[in-house]
Structure 1
Amino acid sequence: MTKIDEQQMHAENFDNIYEKVKNDPYARSLGIELTRFGPGMAEAELEVQPHMVNAHGTVHGAVMYALADHVFSVACNAYGRTSVGLSTNVQFMAAAMPGDKITAAAAEVRRNFRTGFYRIEVCHGVNQIAVMDAVAYRKDQYFI
């Protein structure tokens, strides 16, 4: 079996991979905007809308999770290899309010043939409001 250089795969197919990962229908429906993308990493932002809050008037945890999950998905699929979430663990530490811009950044911690491990930080400005550890299952096929 020939070993594929995934860094080279990312570089040579950047435009095709980027088009695939940036057009996630659910993320787009929430207004999530991908702002940075590279091998094993991604960043995105979202402005909290009035309908995205919980009964206390703060951003709903599901909205923060969706933002974190989106950058996780983009980061683990950055090499053009079909990857899906296997597990996540999120810690919510602080809240955001309607009108606030929140950002999420995913960074690859480690990957091997079958799994990838990622750390995602969600922030409001310089304040970290959530953190997620995630594991991706890397399928055999490439989507590019």
Structure 2
Amino acid sequence: MTISLDQARAVLAAQPFSRLLGAELIAFAPGMAELRIPLRDDLLQQFGYVHGGVLAYAADNAITFAAGSVLGPAVLTRGLAIDYVRPGTPDVLRAVASVLTHTDRQAVCRVELYTGVGADETLCAAAQGTVNTSRRVG
């Protein structure tokens, strides 16, 4: 089942937490997805860096969308391991996910999380996770 960028964006827009964070799906193709979150002060921790929970959310949702691009829209994250490489600075967060391998029911994905813009963009976290198909739809 092929899902278009517009259909994937509609799925993201249906997620209340994603709307709260201001997440945007900026790329979606077979085997990959890219999320963007404009960073506001309320998404930072006490030292002015991106909160780890925001990074974990972006990693989780990006791998789920990447997996959904090959498995279909009814998917759920089974597990996720994240490594925080360096503190994420404010401005914008970008999560770029790709499918490493998949079967008909499961995908293993990798995601890199960047903060900053252009030449100032810096890798701040990397994660890997497993996404399974779900019988639950809607």
Correspondence for 1:22: 12
* CA-based RMSD: 2.2
Q: Is residue 80 of structure 2 the alignment partner of residue 88 of structure 1?
A: yes
3-state SS of 1:128 partner? strand
Whether the 8 Å CA contact 1:120–1:133 is kept in 2: the answer is: yes
3-state SS of 1:78 partner? helix
Cα deviation for residue 19 of structure 1 reads: 4.6
Question: Sequence identity of aligned pairs in percent?
Answer: 23
Give me the TM-score of the superposition, normalised by structure 1. 0.80
In terms of Rg, which structure is larger? 1
Correspondence for 1:115: 106
Give me the TM-score of the superposition, normalised by structure 2. 0.83
3-state SS of 2:63 partner? helix
Whether the 8 Å CA contact 2:111–2:128 is kept in 1: the answer is: yes
What is the total number of aligned residue pairs between the two structures?
A: 132
Whether the 8 Å CA contact 1:21–1:74 is kept in 2: the answer is: no
Cα deviation for residue 78 of structure 1 reads: 2.1
Q: What amino acid sits opposite 2:65 in the alignment? A: V
Whether the 8 Å CA contact 1:81–1:140 is kept in 2: the answer is: no
Correspondence for 2:126: 131
Cα deviation for residue 97 of structure 1 reads: 3.0
Q: What amino acid sits opposite 1:21 in the alignment? A: V
Cα deviation for residue 90 of structure 1 reads: 0.1
Q: Is residue 96 of structure 2 the alignment partner of residue 105 of structure 1?
A: yes
Correspondence for 2:66: 75
Whether the 8 Å CA contact 2:48–2:89 is kept in 1: the answer is: yes
Mapped partners of 2:5, 2:22: distance in 1: 22
1:30-88 CA-to-partner distances (Å, cap 9, x unmatched) read: 01111001112110111211111212221110011111212112112224241110000
Deviates further, 108-117 or 15-24: 15-24
Cα deviation for residue 109 of structure 1 reads: 0.4
Q: Is residue 43 of structure 2 the alignment partner of residue 52 of structure 1?
A: yes
